[in-house]
Structure 1
Amino acid sequence: MRLLTHNMLTSHVKGAESGYPLILEAAEVILRNVDFNPEFIKRMLSKVNWDVLYQTAKAIGHLNDIPEQLQPNVENDEEFLRKAHHVLLEVEVKEGHLICPTSKKKFQISNGIPNMLLGEESSS
Protein backbone atom coordinates (compact mmCIF):
# COMPACT_ATOMS: atom_id res chain seq x y z
CA MET A 1 0.00 0.00 0.00
CA ARG A 2 1.46 3.31 -1.06
CA LEU A 3 1.34 6.34 1.21
CA LEU A 4 -0.86 8.06 -1.37
CA THR A 5 -3.45 5.32 -0.82
CA HIS A 6 -3.13 5.58 2.95
CA ASN A 7 -3.75 9.31 2.72
CA MET A 8 -7.10 8.73 1.00
CA LEU A 9 -8.43 5.87 3.15
CA THR A 10 -10.85 6.22 6.03
CA SER A 11 -12.48 3.77 8.40
CA HIS A 12 -16.24 3.29 8.32
CA VAL A 13 -16.58 1.37 11.57
CA LYS A 14 -20.12 1.84 12.86
CA GLY A 15 -20.23 4.25 15.77
CA ALA A 16 -16.74 5.66 15.18
CA GLU A 17 -16.81 9.46 15.28
CA SER A 18 -13.88 9.84 12.96
CA GLY A 19 -12.15 7.21 10.85
CA TYR A 20 -9.47 9.54 9.51
CA PRO A 21 -6.57 9.46 9.47
CA LEU A 22 -5.98 5.79 9.94
CA ILE A 23 -2.98 4.98 12.11
CA LEU A 24 -0.40 3.06 10.11
CA GLU A 25 1.63 0.29 11.74
CA ALA A 26 4.19 -0.84 9.20
CA ALA A 27 5.81 -4.23 9.77
CA GLU A 28 7.52 -4.29 6.35
CA VAL A 29 8.21 -1.33 4.07
CA ILE A 30 9.70 -1.70 0.60
CA LEU A 31 10.76 0.83 -2.01
CA ARG A 32 9.59 0.49 -5.61
CA ASN A 33 10.87 2.45 -8.57
CA VAL A 34 8.04 4.34 -10.25
CA ASP A 35 8.53 6.57 -13.30
CA PHE A 36 8.49 10.23 -12.30
CA ASN A 37 5.39 12.03 -13.59
CA PRO A 38 5.47 15.65 -12.37
CA GLU A 39 2.00 16.42 -13.75
CA PHE A 40 0.46 13.60 -11.73
CA ILE A 41 2.19 14.78 -8.55
CA LYS A 42 1.02 18.36 -9.17
CA ARG A 43 -2.58 17.15 -9.51
CA MET A 44 -2.36 15.00 -6.39
CA LEU A 45 -1.00 17.78 -4.16
CA SER A 46 -4.42 19.42 -3.94
CA LYS A 47 -6.00 16.10 -2.89
CA VAL A 48 -3.42 15.00 -0.30
CA ASN A 49 -3.70 15.90 3.36
CA TRP A 50 -0.10 17.06 3.71
CA ASP A 51 -0.04 16.98 7.52
CA VAL A 52 -1.17 13.34 7.50
CA LEU A 53 1.38 12.43 4.81
CA TYR A 54 4.20 14.10 6.70
CA GLN A 55 3.32 12.48 10.04
CA THR A 56 2.88 9.04 8.46
CA ALA A 57 6.14 9.21 6.51
CA LYS A 58 7.91 10.36 9.67
CA ALA A 59 6.37 7.54 11.75
CA ILE A 60 7.60 4.85 9.35
CA GLY A 61 11.01 6.48 8.80
CA HIS A 62 10.61 7.61 5.18
CA LEU A 63 10.40 11.42 5.21
CA ASN A 64 12.86 11.85 2.31
CA ASP A 65 13.39 15.50 3.32
CA ILE A 66 9.85 16.59 2.50
CA PRO A 67 8.91 19.80 4.32
CA GLU A 68 6.63 19.67 7.34
CA GLN A 69 4.29 22.18 5.69
CA LEU A 70 3.42 22.60 2.04
CA GLN A 71 4.85 25.83 0.69
CA PRO A 72 3.29 28.06 -2.00
CA ASN A 73 4.31 27.44 -5.62
CA VAL A 74 5.77 23.97 -4.98
CA GLU A 75 4.35 22.87 -8.33
CA ASN A 76 7.26 24.73 -9.95
CA ASP A 77 9.96 23.12 -7.78
CA GLU A 78 11.16 19.93 -9.48
CA GLU A 79 13.33 18.89 -6.52
CA PHE A 80 10.27 19.08 -4.23
CA LEU A 81 8.11 17.23 -6.77
CA ARG A 82 10.66 14.40 -6.93
CA LYS A 83 10.74 14.11 -3.14
CA ALA A 84 6.94 14.12 -2.97
CA HIS A 85 6.82 11.53 -5.78
CA HIS A 86 9.12 9.26 -3.80
CA VAL A 87 7.09 9.50 -0.58
CA LEU A 88 3.70 9.23 -2.28
CA LEU A 89 4.40 6.51 -4.83
CA GLU A 90 7.66 4.67 -4.15
CA VAL A 91 7.34 3.97 -0.41
CA GLU A 92 5.10 0.93 -0.05
CA VAL A 93 3.89 -0.78 3.09
CA LYS A 94 3.96 -4.46 2.25
CA GLU A 95 2.86 -5.83 5.65
CA GLY A 96 1.26 -4.16 8.64
CA HIS A 97 -2.00 -2.75 9.95
CA LEU A 98 -4.26 0.25 9.60
CA ILE A 99 -5.98 1.21 12.85
CA CYS A 100 -9.19 3.20 13.15
CA PRO A 101 -8.35 6.21 15.35
CA THR A 102 -11.69 6.08 17.17
CA SER A 103 -12.64 2.40 17.49
CA LYS A 104 -9.04 1.04 17.42
CA LYS A 105 -10.19 -1.71 15.02
CA LYS A 106 -7.23 -3.11 13.09
CA PHE A 107 -7.28 -3.76 9.37
CA GLN A 108 -4.53 -5.98 8.04
CA ILE A 109 -2.21 -5.01 5.19
CA SER A 110 -0.98 -8.15 3.47
CA ASN A 111 1.26 -8.19 0.41
CA GLY A 112 0.62 -4.44 0.02
CA ILE A 113 -3.18 -4.75 0.04
CA PRO A 114 -5.23 -3.33 2.92
CA ASN A 115 -8.26 -5.40 3.95
CA MET A 116 -10.87 -2.84 4.99
CA LEU A 117 -13.68 -5.36 5.43
CA LEU A 118 -15.51 -5.05 8.73
CA GLY A 119 -15.99 -8.79 9.32
CA GLU A 120 -14.19 -10.73 12.03
CA GLU A 121 -11.58 -12.01 9.57
CA SER A 122 -10.11 -8.50 9.18
CA SER A 123 -9.32 -7.91 12.86
CA SER A 124 -6.19 -8.90 14.68
Structure 2
Amino acid sequence: MKLLTHNMLTSKCLKNVVSGYPLQISINSPEDVKVQEVDFNPEFIARIIPKVDWDVLCKTAEEVGHKGDLPATLDQDYETNEEFLKMAHHVLLEVEVMSGELVCPETGRRFPVTDGIPNMLLNEDEV
Protein backbone atom coordinates (compact mmCIF):
# COMPACT_ATOMS: atom_id res chain seq x y z
CA MET A 1 0.00 0.00 0.00
CA LYS A 2 1.51 3.26 -1.08
CA LEU A 3 1.50 6.12 1.40
CA LEU A 4 -0.65 8.10 -1.05
CA THR A 5 -3.34 5.43 -0.64
CA HIS A 6 -2.96 5.41 3.12
CA ASN A 7 -3.40 9.18 3.21
CA MET A 8 -6.88 8.84 1.72
CA LEU A 9 -8.19 5.83 3.68
CA THR A 10 -10.61 6.17 6.57
CA SER A 11 -12.67 3.83 8.72
CA LYS A 12 -15.65 6.18 9.13
CA CYS A 13 -17.96 3.52 7.72
CA LEU A 14 -17.58 1.61 11.01
CA LYS A 15 -20.49 1.85 13.44
CA ASN A 16 -20.07 4.75 15.92
CA VAL A 17 -17.01 6.17 14.15
CA VAL A 18 -17.10 9.91 13.43
CA SER A 19 -13.89 10.43 11.46
CA GLY A 20 -11.78 7.27 11.49
CA TYR A 21 -8.86 9.28 10.19
CA PRO A 22 -5.95 8.94 10.00
CA LEU A 23 -5.55 5.21 10.24
CA GLN A 24 -2.43 4.28 12.16
CA ILE A 25 0.05 1.93 10.50
CA SER A 26 1.34 -0.94 12.59
CA ILE A 27 4.32 -2.86 11.20
CA ASN A 28 6.42 -5.54 12.84
CA SER A 29 9.77 -4.66 11.27
CA PRO A 30 11.38 -2.33 8.72
CA GLU A 31 11.25 -5.24 6.23
CA ASP A 32 7.46 -4.79 6.12
CA VAL A 33 8.08 -1.60 4.13
CA LYS A 34 9.81 -1.59 0.76
CA VAL A 35 10.82 1.03 -1.76
CA GLN A 36 10.04 0.49 -5.44
CA GLU A 37 11.20 2.99 -8.01
CA VAL A 38 8.41 4.66 -9.98
CA ASP A 39 8.81 7.05 -12.93
CA PHE A 40 8.81 10.67 -11.77
CA ASN A 41 5.93 12.79 -13.06
CA PRO A 42 6.26 16.30 -11.61
CA GLU A 43 2.90 17.46 -13.00
CA PHE A 44 1.04 14.63 -11.27
CA ILE A 45 2.78 15.24 -7.96
CA ALA A 46 2.11 18.99 -8.12
CA ARG A 47 -1.60 18.31 -8.79
CA ILE A 48 -2.01 15.64 -6.09
CA ILE A 49 -0.32 17.55 -3.24
CA PRO A 50 -3.36 19.83 -2.55
CA LYS A 51 -5.45 16.67 -2.03
CA VAL A 52 -3.00 15.18 0.49
CA ASP A 53 -3.15 15.78 4.23
CA TRP A 54 0.48 16.89 4.49
CA ASP A 55 0.76 16.60 8.29
CA VAL A 56 -0.52 13.01 8.19
CA LEU A 57 1.82 12.14 5.32
CA CYS A 58 4.87 13.46 7.20
CA LYS A 59 3.90 11.65 10.40
CA THR A 60 3.26 8.38 8.57
CA ALA A 61 6.49 8.60 6.57
CA GLU A 62 8.39 9.13 9.82
CA GLU A 63 6.62 6.20 11.51
CA VAL A 64 7.62 3.81 8.71
CA GLY A 65 11.18 5.19 8.64
CA HIS A 66 11.08 7.01 5.28
CA LYS A 67 10.60 10.71 6.02
CA GLY A 68 14.12 11.62 4.94
CA ASP A 69 14.43 15.36 4.22
CA LEU A 70 10.72 15.86 3.57
CA PRO A 71 9.80 19.25 5.07
CA ALA A 72 7.12 19.40 7.76
CA THR A 73 5.32 22.22 5.94
CA LEU A 74 4.60 22.96 2.30
CA ASP A 75 6.52 25.78 0.63
CA GLN A 76 4.53 28.40 -1.28
CA ASP A 77 6.40 27.54 -4.49
CA TYR A 78 6.24 23.74 -4.20
CA GLU A 79 4.80 23.41 -7.72
CA THR A 80 8.02 24.74 -9.26
CA ASN A 81 10.48 23.24 -6.76
CA GLU A 82 11.65 20.06 -8.50
CA GLU A 83 13.76 18.91 -5.55
CA PHE A 84 10.72 19.10 -3.27
CA LEU A 85 8.51 17.36 -5.86
CA LYS A 86 11.02 14.50 -6.08
CA MET A 87 10.99 14.07 -2.28
CA ALA A 88 7.18 14.11 -2.26
CA HIS A 89 7.11 11.66 -5.18
CA HIS A 90 9.38 9.27 -3.29
CA VAL A 91 7.25 9.28 -0.14
CA LEU A 92 3.87 9.23 -1.91
CA LEU A 93 4.54 6.67 -4.63
CA GLU A 94 7.73 4.70 -3.97
CA VAL A 95 7.39 3.81 -0.27
CA GLU A 96 5.06 0.82 0.15
CA VAL A 97 3.76 -0.93 3.25
CA MET A 98 3.79 -4.60 2.26
CA SER A 99 2.50 -6.15 5.48
CA GLY A 100 1.15 -4.96 8.78
CA GLU A 101 -2.12 -3.49 9.96
CA LEU A 102 -4.13 -0.30 9.71
CA VAL A 103 -5.69 0.66 13.04
CA CYS A 104 -8.83 2.77 13.45
CA PRO A 105 -7.97 5.66 15.81
CA GLU A 106 -11.46 5.64 17.38
CA THR A 107 -12.26 1.94 17.84
CA GLY A 108 -8.91 0.17 17.59
CA ARG A 109 -10.32 -2.07 14.84
CA ARG A 110 -7.41 -3.59 12.90
CA PHE A 111 -7.38 -4.04 9.14
CA PRO A 112 -4.67 -6.35 7.78
CA VAL A 113 -2.28 -5.33 5.00
CA THR A 114 -1.02 -8.33 3.03
CA ASP A 115 1.25 -8.14 -0.02
CA GLY A 116 0.67 -4.38 -0.07
CA ILE A 117 -3.13 -4.68 -0.17
CA PRO A 118 -5.22 -3.35 2.73
CA ASN A 119 -8.28 -5.48 3.56
CA MET A 120 -10.93 -3.00 4.69
CA LEU A 121 -13.88 -5.43 4.51
CA LEU A 122 -16.28 -5.16 7.42
CA ASN A 123 -18.47 -7.67 9.19
CA GLU A 124 -22.24 -7.07 9.10
CA ASP A 125 -22.35 -6.12 12.78
CA GLU A 126 -19.71 -3.39 12.23
CA VAL A 127 -21.74 -1.36 9.74
Aligned length, in residue pairs: 120
Letter in 2 for 1:38: P
Q: Is there any run of 5+ residues in structure 2 with no aligned partner, and where?
A: none
- 1:79 and 2:83 correspond: yes
- Residue 50 of structure 2 is aligned to residue 46 of structure 1: yes
Asked if 2 retains the 8 angstrom alpha-carbon contact of 1:19 and 1:101, the reply is yes
Inter-partner Cα distance in structure 2 for 1:32 and 1:24: 19
What's the TM-score once normalised by structure 1's chain length? 0.93
**Which of the two has greater strand per residue?**
1
Deviation at 1:89, TM superposition (A): 0.2
Residue identity in the other structure for 2:9:
L
* Alignment correspondent of 1:4: 4
TM-score scaled by structure 2?
0.91
* Percent identity for Structure 1 against Structure 2: 56
Question: Is 45-54 or 17-26 further displaced after alignment?
Answer: 17-26
RMSD: 1.1
1:64 Cα deviation after fit: 2.2
Partner secondary structure for residue 21 of structure 2: coil
